[in-house]
Structures are given as C-alpha cells and as structure tokens.
Chains A and B, each alone.
Chain A
C-alpha cells in the first residue's frame, strides 16, 4: 500500500492526460462528402484532425471498402443542412471520439451561423467585430486596503482536495482502528494486555498509533506522488499546462483583445494561442494567485482538522469495534457515523461553489462535518472567529467522544457473545468501573 498508493495517485493524475495525449497525437483523416457544397475546404483543420473532401463519391462507395482506406471517419452532409438539425452523419467503424465530434459540430454551426448572418445582409467586417470574449479577472481586496490577484478555480481545487483528503483519511484509518480493536477482541489477547495497561491507554494507543502510521504513509504518498507526477510531466507537458494556461490567459486576453477579435474561427484561434502560450507561460499571474492562498495557514489548519477529525471518528470507530464480536456486526453502528461523513462530502461540492453560504457555514462549524467543510471553505478566506469557533468545538467534541468511547470500550472489549444494541451501549456508559 505504501508504494502502491502513490503509484495509483500518480496514475489517476497522469493516465487521463496520457490517454488524451495518445489519442490526439494520432492524425485522424476524415473523408467529407458534402452534398450542400457549403463546407468544402472550409472546415478548420487542426494538427491532428485533417479533412479530405471527396467529390462525386457516394457513401456506399466508401462504406464498401472503408477498412482498406486510412480514413478515421466519413462525414456526410446533406444538402438540407441549413434547415434541419439531423442532416449531418458521421460514419465510422468505431465510436468517434467526443473531441472530434464536438470539433466538427461547432465548426459546422459557426459556418452556418455566418452564412445565415451574411444572408441577412450583414457583412463580413461586422461579423468579425461582434466576436467578443470575456474573461473575468478576480481581484480580492485585502484588509490593508491593497488588491490581490485571486483565482477562484485554484481556491476550489485546493478546497476540494483538502476536504476530500480529510474524508479519505478518516474513513481509511478510522476503519483500520475498528478492525484492530475487533482483531484484539476476537483474538482474546485484549484481556492479557489490559492486565498490564488501562483499557483507555490501550484504546488511545491504538488510535494514536494508527494515526501516526497514517500520517507517515500519507506524507510518503504526497512525496512519492509529487516525484511521480513531476517525473512524468515532460511526457505530458502540453496537457498539464493547458488548464493552467487557460487560467493565466485571463489578463493576457484582455490585453490582446483586438488582435484576437480580428482572427476568424475564434475557438480554434484561442486553442492555438493556448498552445502557443504553453511553451512559455507567463508564470507571474498564477504565482500571484498561488501566493494569494495562504499555504502556511492552510497547512496548519489542515493538520489540526485532519487530526481532530481523525481523533473524533477514530474513537467512535474504536467504540464500535469494542462492542461487536466480528466485523459483520458493525453495520448497525456504522450507519450513524457514515451519514455525517457522506453528508459532508455532498455538501463539500456546495461548499466550494458557495463558500459563504448558510449550509457551508453551518457544516463547517458542526464538529462532525467541520473538518471536511472548513478545509473546503478555507482557501476562499474564512473569518478568523469562525475558524477558531470551529476548532474549539471540534476539540471539545473529540474530548467528549473519546471519553464516551473509552467507557464503551472498556466494557465492550471484555464482553463476548452478547447481542449489543444502543440500549446496551447506554448501559455500558453508565457502568462505574
């Protein structure tokens, strides 16, 4: 798991980009039979999509020996294309890729739009000038009255990633605590051990021990994932930089507005300009945005909520483990623990799109969900008192749950063959030991 984890993480990051890369590198030749004669030599080609316009050929001719040709697909445009939406057909011996399909359909749409506008008597110059492209640049006012370049996208990514990691960590290692407790109980070694240490010490030892294992493994994952992703980056360089470049483009497009407007086929143009940019990105804005996110604060708060959330849930998982005789009996007790976690991950999506909203606020204060939701909100800037309140509540709650779990645990670990329900657990809590 230690080595496999980062490999999997790396694969998740790299694989889609690599696959997309593979597909795109392959030149796709597409045969076009255009009965409408509108599009001949007008469909925009890219590096990997080429068109071959066939005259006086019928679809059947191509179909008969399609496999012998090197065509990727056959595009058939009927003469009714201007009037009905179903008049373009793409034939292929495989399912054409989505990118190819959308490239063609948007090209045809644009061309038809222009045709129709021209038919209304609007001349080409006007057509060129009405093309607009708006990218909103976000600037945050700081407390000192200054201005900072910010990136909503980056904040969303950081927030989602942080929240999700905490969720993942709690589930993975919380369940490990539970399994460990069940193992000790069913092994019957627990009575030997509690004759040397207090049950509470044993429970905390288990939780803290697994927590440290988790942190170590997690740290290792982060480092290895970074190494793997960095190592593989040259392989997929254009794909890796494209999204970043698009974000960065915001200010640069503003500057180059006029030149961009003048170019036909806006979409292709912007794609090409992105590709141009990827070679030498103007790194400054993205670094500004990165600096704008207070990573020191985020990492500090992350570690607190990471550990707080884990301790809270870890002790509950330990209590469950102590109450049952085997893992299959855990179901009824797992539900109330799982529900707030699942809820948190659902609200997480809401939280990063509307970090100041009521739901996000309350879920980031309530301790059962706060570790996940506070991480989601944090990159967008959260008032200090809210963070403090959330932290204090979380700390109080995990002290409370640990105390409660300790009481269940010390009775549970020595109790065998009993059908345990919530009433029984309540009795255990009231036992004086």
Chain B
C-alpha cells in the first residue's frame, strides 16, 4: 500500500522551479531514500510534505487522503539544519517538543525517560542544552523526532555530526522503527548508508524526479553486464577461449591470483561464459559487478546533464 503519494507537484519560487512535476510514492513500512545533489529541491519537497510550505500544483496524499494540517502530528521530522533552545533545560525542551506534537505531558515524560535511558543521556535531564556536546544534542534531537511515535519519519542527513559508534546506534534505531511499523523517508548524501538501509529510492535533480524505484531494481537497471573472474591458470589461454561475444575490459591480479573483468555482449549469458572458461582455467571467484549507489547517482545526474545540454 502507498503510505505517502506525491502527485505531479510543482513549486516555483518566482520564476525558478524548485520542484517540477515531481511524483513519487512511498510504500508503507519502507525506508525510502530521497537522493539528489545539493539544491536539487529535496528540502523543498520535504517541507511540502511537512506542510511548512505549500505546493503550487499537484497533491500530496497521506494514507490515501489529501494531507491535512492535523497529519503533521503523525509525522516526525528531523531537519538537516537543526538546533535547540540553548538556554532551556534538556528535559523541559524534549517535553515541550513532544507536547507540540500533541502528546499529553504525562505520557511524554514517561516515554522520554525510557528514551533517555536507551541513549544513555538520563543524567542530563536537568542540564542546559548548551552544556551538551554536539553528539548529545543530536541524540536529543533524534529522541524528540521519534518520541510521539509517528507513522511517518523524515530524516534529513540524520548522521551528520555523529561518530561511527553513534551512527551505528542510530542506524539500528532506524531499523527498529521500521520493524515497529513506521515508514521512513531518508534524505542523505551518504550513499553507503542508502545501500545499507533503503528499500526504495528517488533521485531528484534540478527540480525533477529522474530516477525512482526499489533499490535492487534500480541497481539492476544500471547493471552493465560486467563480470569479474578470479582464476588460476594462463591468462592468454583464457583470452583465446573467448569469442567476439565478450569484451575484456581489464586484466589485473587480486591477492596474487590473475583476474579479468569481462563485459558480456550480444545477449550472451553468464552460464555461456562459464562454460567457455571452465575447461581452460581453475575459477576461484566469479562475480557480477553491481553498480554502487554512488556510481548510479553520478551516472544518472551526468546523463541528465548531457540529455539537457543540446536543448540549452
């Protein structure tokens, strides 16, 4: 089921498009990666979902209904540029933010105590925010984002400012939230964490949605039929065994073993390739090269650029 659907959304700032005919649908209980270069329009899209700004055209559907102001109570939003009232006490502040999201005070206090323990910041309740380290403040912000157990969570660069240990802690929390049933939109430039966490992605570039789909499908779409073979034996023999259906891209050694990268041409299959080389050399490893999200990101953005160039 579609949890959140964005349909043909336009947003203009005077004569500049911030979003142009953007559509995407976020499946329920998924982690959805919202990717794109700086200034592509991701933050604008997130703000539209959060009802901070309104679109010029198009619709946003929240669980099948047009999104309403009350729906923001069911959304938890961790903005990229985030901060807290520095002079306020940690506990007071977390309570205030929870109450802003419509939580009763008693319940909020109870839940906060629990989260504070989990994140090992329980001793900081009475301290002022300015006394906290940056990492602690980030934890506090994460807690205030999820405290009201929203059905939809939007994290904009959640890991910036975290050390590897806390990043891991947070990643586990994100997975945990998914397990509990939340739908998560996740915007980041860290492609490693996208591969690790996301089920679906959307790539926005220059105000337009240029790539969308389940992450495995997207990666398969960008597969280039390149295989890496690690083997024991004479590389020249291998060369001669391959016909015009295969193109050798690179010869190298991996851990003292010979290796080649081969591209399959003319719809040949990997089984055919294997059947050709098995008699010739001893195969140690055979692996298809699946492009990383990093490569896909760069490739997609560059393709878009070159497609656009002749027009302009």
A, B from the same assembly: yes
CA distance A199 to B50 in the complex (A): 12
Would you give the shortest CB distance from A1 to chain B, in whole angstroms?
15
Q: Which of A184, A195, A433 is within 8 Å of B79, CB to CB?
A: A195
Are B52 and A194 in contact, with the CB atoms below 8 A? yes
Partner of A195, one of B52, B56, B83: B52
Interface residue count on the B side (C-beta < 8 Å) = 27
* Contact present for A195 and B75 (CB under 8 Å): yes
Q: Is B106 in the interface zone, CB < 8 Å from A?
A: no
- Whether A198 is near chain B, meaning CB under 8 Å from some CB there, is yes
Whether B72 and A196, one on each chain, are in contact in the complex, defined by CB atoms closer than 8 angstroms, is: yes
- Please, how many angstroms separate the alpha-carbon atoms of A433 and B53 in the complex? 5
Stretch of A39-47, A185-193, A242-250, A346-354 that contacts chain B: A185-193
Contact at A192–B85, with CB atoms within 8 Å? no
For B82, list chain A residues within 8 Å (CB): 188-189, 191-192
Distance of A327 from chain B, by nearest CB (Å): 15
**In the docked arrangement, what's the CA distance between A370 and B80, Å?**
45
Q: Does A416 contact B (CB under 8 A)?
A: yes
Residue-by-residue, is B275-296 near A (CB-CB < 8 Å gives 1, otherwise 0)?
0000000000000000000000
With contacts A187-B86, A189-B82, A189-B83 taken as known, whether A432 is within 8 angstroms of B56 at the C-beta atoms is yes
Instruction: Tell me whether B69 is interfacial, beta carbon within 8 Å.
Output: yes
Count of chain A residues near B, Cβ 8 A: 22
Q: Which chain A positions have C-beta within 8 A of B75?
A: 195
State which of A184, A193, A414, A433 has its C-beta within 8 Å of the C-beta of B54. A433
Which of A183, A187, A193, A414 meets B100, CB within 8 Å?
Answer: A193
Nearest A-chain residue to B86, judged by Cβ: A187
Closest A residue, CB atoms, query B96: A193
Query: Judging by beta carbons under 8 Å apart, are B79 and A188 in contact?
Result: yes
Judge if A197 is at the interface, Cβ distance under 8 Å.
Answer: yes
Q: Given contacts A192-B144, A195-B50, A431-B13, could you give 14 more A-B pairs where the C-beta distance is less than 8 Å?
A: A186-B83, A187-B86, A189-B82, A189-B84, A189-B85, A191-B81, A192-B141, A194-B52, A195-B75, A196-B100, A198-B69, A414-B52, A416-B81, A430-B14
Whether a CB of chain A sits under 8 angstroms from the CB of B111 is no
How far is B141's CA from A195's CA once the two chains are assembled, in angstroms? 14
- List residues of chain A with CB within 8 A of the CB of B72: 195-196
B109-132 vs A: 1/0 string, CB under 8 Å?
A: 000000000000000000000000
Determine if A191 and B100 form an interchain contact, defined as CB atoms under 8 angstroms apart. no
User: B97 contacts the other chain (Cβ, under 8 Å)?
Assistant: yes
Q: Which residue of B lies closest to A185 (CB)?
A: B83
**B32 lies within 8 A of chain A by Cβ:** no
Q: What are 17 residue pairs bridging A and B, where the CB atoms are less than 8 Å apart in the complex? A: A184-B85, A186-B83, A187-B85, A188-B79, A189-B85, A192-B97, A192-B144, A193-B97, A195-B52, A195-B79, A196-B72, A198-B51, A416-B81, A431-B13, A432-B56, A433-B53, A433-B54
B100, A197: Cβ atoms closer than 8 Å: yes
| In the complex, B101 has a CB within 8 A of chain A | yes
How does the 8 Å CB contact mask read for A57-90 relative to B, with 1 for contact and 0 for none? 0000000000000000000000000000000000
Q: In the complex, A187→B84 CA distance in Å?
A: 6
A427 within 8 A of B: yes
Tell me, rounded to whole Å, the shortest Cβ–Cβ distance linking A271 to chain B. Answer: 56
What's the least CB distance linking A195 to chain B, in Å? Answer: 4
Looking at the complex, which one of B53, B56, B73, B83 makes contact with A188 (CB distance below 8 Å)?
Answer: B83
User: Hey, which chain A residues are within 8 Å of B100, CB to CB?
Assistant: 193, 196-197
A189 closest partner in B (C-beta): B83
| A188 contacts across to B, CB distance below 8 A | 79, 81-83
Known: A197-B100, A414-B47. A191 touches B52 (CB 8 A): yes
Contact with B along A397-433 (1 / 0, CB 8 A): 0000000000000000010100000000001001111
Q: Considering the chains assembled together, what is the distance between the CA atoms of A265 and B231 in angstroms?
A: 128
Contacts of A191 in B (CB 8 A): 52, 77, 79, 81-82
CB distance from B145 to the nearest CB of A (A): 8
Residues of chain B with a CB closer than 8 A to A414's CB = 47, 52
Contacts of A199 in B (CB 8 A): 52
B78 contacts across to A, CB distance below 8 A: 192
Min CB distance A197 to B, Å, is: 7
Q: Give the chain B neighbours of A416 by CB distance below 8 A.
A: 81
Which residues B50-105 have CB closer than 8 A to chain A?
50-54, 56, 69, 72-73, 75, 77-79, 81-86, 97, 100-101
Report how far A183 CA is from B50 CA in the complex, Å: 22
Most central of B13, B52, B69 by chain A CB within 10 Å: B52
